[in-house]
Structure 1
Amino acid sequence: MLHSVLKQAFEQYVFDRVSDILSLASVTDAKYKKAVKESDAVLSQLMELARSLEAQQPELLLLIMEYEAVTTLEAGLAAEIIYREGFRDSCSLRQEFAALMQQTM
């Protein structure tokens, strides 16, 4: 029971932290801000094109909307995985550094 509660709390923490990091990056990181802006521009162009072709290709608009949802989910999951691995790496590095310090003393 405790393990489940702690796991759920950690999952929520990771989700919230990744969201905070990406929100901050969209303001402070020029490369990320530029990539988001370019991605939004391309998606807007695709949506505009799909709307203009809706009579001939009605499935195109739905396909683009589905693609946007799937890529957004994929990017979010990738960010969470990367954050978790970074967290694990920091723990491992801290342990290795502590062991090295004990050896040198």
Structure 2
Amino acid sequence: MFNSILNQAFNEYVFDRVGNILSVAGVADEKYRKTVKEADSVLSQLMESARELEAQHPELLRLVMAYEAATTLESGLAAEIVYREGIRDSCGVRQEFANFMQKQMQGYQYPSAY
């Protein structure tokens, strides 16, 4: 039960942290902000075209909306996966560094007192 509570808390932390990172990136990262703006523009154009063609192709608007939802979900999941892997990498790098330092200290000879 304790592990379940910890897993739930960790999952909520990751979800919140990814959201915060993307919010900051939307303000601080010019390339990301530009990409989001371009994606929004393309989606708006698709929605406009789908509405204009709705009489001839009623499924088009629904498909565009479904595509938007799917790509939004995919982007969110990708960000979450990358964040989790970053945490795993960080733990692994720390462990490797600790092992390296331990080996360095084992081979270190302290100067002898005269």
Same fold (TM over 0.5): yes
Helix, strand or coil at the partner of 2:26: helix
Point out the structure with max Rg over C-alpha: 2
Partner of 1:45: 45
Unaligned runs of 5+ in 1: none
The whole-number CA distance in structure 1 between the counterparts of 2:102 and 2:34 is 45
Describe the superposition over 1:47-85 as per-residue Cα deviations: whole angstroms up to 9, x where unpaired: 000011111111100100000001100110111011000
The whole-number CA distance in structure 1 between the counterparts of 2:37 and 2:75 is 15
**What's the CA shift for 1:101?**
1.2
Partner of 1:59: 59
Partner of 1:75: 75
More helix by share: 1
Q: Flag as ranges the 4+ runs of structure 1 deviating above 3 A.
A: none
Give the aligned length.
Answer: 105
Amino acid at match of 1:58: P
**What's the CA shift for 1:34?**
0.8
Calculate the aligned-residue CA RMSD, in Å: 0.6
1:9-48 equivalence runs, <5 A: 9-48=9-48
The whole-number CA distance in structure 2 between the counterparts of 1:96 and 1:58 is 57
Tell me the percent identity: 70
